Structure 1
């Protein structure tokens, strides 16, 4: 079946269709550089958002402490960094070829074998949309419960209530939508401020721990492995605990979904992805080793009434409620702005998929209101969805975590599928698109290694924390949620999607 594409036009005609006159300055921002204009023209897209942007482990370490101990956490972090770096490099190359907000579902549509382009792109689009959407509530939940843990530290008689945590999630989400609307044009300045805060906060946390904390023996920290989950095998326990560092690296495609708001995206985007991975990976490793050196008795730390081992480690090191509160407040601020970033990514992913008729109410969700230059409708819907999803926490935090567990498996699967498409093209000897960031002769080995690693992570993302005494609370429901999304999106595609969704590849210009 052949799909009808939009009427071919020249690059100049495409550019001339933009606003002119008194709106020239805004139009120039929206067009970006000459390479940006050429990329958007080739992909058959209109630049509707301004091209103005230049491009923790702490809340996730409990899983790794139980399965693997300090040694397991450190070595699986190193292995996870290597594996994810290969995946990031692979996606950076694809981003240089097709710098579009659609990200993975666009890449699958354009790079997959012709017979599978439409259905695979559609399924990956749904996984990416829902994977990023549930992340807003998940980060809000972590931020809220860390605040409650800090209150418990300072006021031991306080008993955290789910309704209080839900209100905190709402506060975080509301801050995120306000930031993504009223301060959208100031994102470059604010991102610079957050970068400074990130670096300053890094040392503000580390220095007190280095100076005041009681260090464990280095050999014990690096080579003590535990099987607290009861798997019966240290190696298997460490692989299950690998999910802790995975949570730190998940979402490297975030910048991709903002690519149409980046200047010179085909060059700056892949470089930003790679350097972000290197810098964050290095800083994260230093923080992780410091934490493990200060953790002391793991069983005692895991039983902390705050619910978060890192809060207890801060307090054990400083012996000060005030000092611990300040250090934890820094991490809360970083979580808060992490939600802001996730909010921006998830709303753009939804907008891009709606632009290609991938979701219900696509006309409404894909509209960019004149004068806003941001996908306001998708931003509002993203906020409403996250607010409603967080209501589940009122009835059961277990059920809430079941729903939000979708993100890991969904995003990992989207990476596997998209990189596999490039592997197929390389194995078949098919030419790749022109790109300004190239893996060269190492492309195929790096692609294959990344897919093998991501497949391992994908499998273990469905494992529970422990095989002993499994019940509704301890079972990892990720597999059920993931399977339900794939099945339901497939049904929706057959019922409606196949009639309107042709995939981004149908709009790609072949005449340049």
Structure 2
């Protein structure tokens, strides 16, 4: 993809040794530094901020102990599935193994398409196109769902502050959607017209992410007498592949992207765990936090700790700002994923979506289309919050499946035809097979349990609809494959 000042050249498509169509050579300027991409990846993951919004399900299901071990293990696993020490090992080793496996692949093929391109490189020849197609669809729509989660969190907390400070206010779903739309609109505007500021914004976002964490912890410790309630939010380490989808716009992505993914994952997991422990030690009365009219226990915890509405509002504002900054990064990464899939003619209206702006050379059509989908989600929220949450549930499952499939076939290629693999400068060496196997086991295990409900007893309003939404996206991809894909889709075309 091009950015301001880029040049793009191409030659006729050819097939590589695996039968994959390559040859559309893209020569780009590289406007993003390693720091920019690292900052973007750290901020879009925003693990400690996400914990603040997802802690209620863990507190209801198993209390603080469940929260801690749920964070350490993985999203949506029952605390009875593994013993406590094993849960820590599963989460840390599994996530790192997944990121390392993806890092080795992107070092070989640095392309914005990422996972769906990898599967086309490593799957058996007769299966390359169809598997690439489905992984591309699932991954792209998973990213769209993931992007919606950040402004929804910021909007929900904003509405929660209004509830906290104005007793006469009656929250309505359409109020939340209006706030959500405003946040999406601001993020869209910056992606469309603030390209010259993008690197600066992402670096500043990283500083806010880290400084906000420090401020919240200092306030919690200084103003509160620590009490252990003696008694796990489902906050996945998700989105570290965001660096992959902007790799065509940075220098030396073969080595930079793997380090960005692993570094961002390590930082977010460490900050998330420290934040979680601090909150649980300082929360006091768990029932009061769960019964808060704001719908966000973290707001009540902040109020209780600081002893003032102003203090609660200030700390919550840190989370709101961080979530909105994450929206900017998420939208940028998702739009590149949409553009990549469109330029390979794997989406409806691919000819339109794959066009770059004539003046700025930015993927403005992909950005605005992604934003339109986010706006549509806001309309769905007005009709039903349950339906909106069902859409958001695709994020974790969709992305984990998009990680799993290429790693499976990368391992297969590694075992049956290692001589055909042209490793990049960042490689796992002899440990590669063990790391791939670890990632596969982890992703299989977590993907199965991601479709389980987070609450008991299960009702239509708290049911986990991830499998239903996943099936719907899969069905759409099948229909479009039969209508056009099997005739026109020739696999990823460009590096």
Residue correspondence of structure 1 range 277-426 to structure 2 within 5 A: 277-426=265-414
**Aligned counterpart, 1:11:** none
Which of residues 150, 164, 184 is equivalent to 1:153? Answer: 164
Q: Matches of residues 121-136 of structure 1 in structure 2 within 5 Å?
A: 121-136=132-147
Q: Which of 218, 228, 234 is matched with 1:244 structurally?
A: 234
Residue 366 to residue 302, structure 1, CA distance change in 2 (3 Å) = same
| Mapped partners of 2:197, 2:33: distance in 1 | 9
CA deviation after TM superposition for structure 1 residue 50, in Å? 4.8
Q: Which moved more, 1:360-369 or 1:72-81?
A: 72-81
RMSD value, Cα: 2.3
SS at match of 1:370: coil
Alignment of 1:419-498 (within 5 A): 419-431=407-419, 432-468=421-457, 470-498=458-486
Among candidates 58, 74, 93, match of residue 52 of structure 2: 58
**Aligned mates of 2:333, 2:153 — CA distance in 1:** 18
Match of 1:88 in 2: 99
Mapped contact 1:51–1:260 kept (Cα < 8 A): no
SS in 1 for 2:240: coil
Q: Matches of 1:485 and 1:383 in 2, distance apart?
A: 18
Contact 2:353–2:365 at 8 Å: present in 1 too? yes
**Structure 2 equivalent of residue 186 of structure 1:** 197
Partner Cα distance (1:76, 1:404) in 2? 20
SS in 2 for 1:157: coil
Alpha-carbon separation, structure 2, partners of 1:49 and 1:123: 31
TM-score by length of 1: 0.84
Tell whether the 8 Å contact from 2:6 to 2:27 is kept in structure 1 after alignment: no
Counterparts in 2 of 1:451 and 1:158: CA distance versus 1, 3 Å: same
State how far apart, in whole Å, the 2-side matches of 1:451 and 1:419 are.
Answer: 7
Q: Between 353-362 and 44-53, report the one with greater CA deviation.
A: 44-53
TM-score, length-normalised on structure 2? 0.86
Matches of residues 95-106 of structure 1 in structure 2 within 5 Å? 95-106=106-117
SS of equivalent to 1:254: helix
Cα offset, 1:299, TM superposition: 2.8
Listed one character per residue, the Cα deviations across residues 168-219 of structure 1 (whole Å, up to 9, x for unaligned) are 11101101111101112222211121122222211111101011123223xx
| Alignment correspondent of 1:230 | none
Partner of 1:8: none
Q: Which of 129, 146, 152 is equivalent to 1:118?
A: 129
Preserved CA contact (<8 Å) 1:64 1:72:
yes
CA distance in 2, matches of 1:147, 1:193: 22
Check the 8 A contact 2:61/2:456 in 1, yes or no. Answer: no
From the CA coordinates, give the structure whose radius of gyration is larger: 1
The Cα shift of 1:73 comes to 2.1
Deviation digits for residues 83-111 of structure 1, max 9, x if unmatched? 21211111111111111110110111111
What are the equivalent positions in structure 2 for 1:244-283 lying under 5 Å apart?
A: 244-246=234-236, 249-283=237-271
Partner of 1:212: 223
1:321 positional shift: 0.9
How far apart are the structure 1 equivalents of 2:29 and 2:363? 8
1:461 Cα deviation from its structure 2 partner: 1.3
Runs of 5+ unmatched residues, structure 2: 10-20, 38-49, 73-87
- Are the aligned partners of 1:250 and 1:408 in contact in 2 as well (CA < 8 Å)? yes
Runs (4+) of structure 1 moved beyond 6 Å?
Answer: none
1:493-512 alignment runs, 5 A limit = 493-504=481-492
Separation in structure 1 between the aligned mates of residue 167 and residue 103 of structure 2, nearest angstrom: 47
Partners of 2:146 and 2:395 within 8 A in 1 = yes
Aligned to 1:142: 153
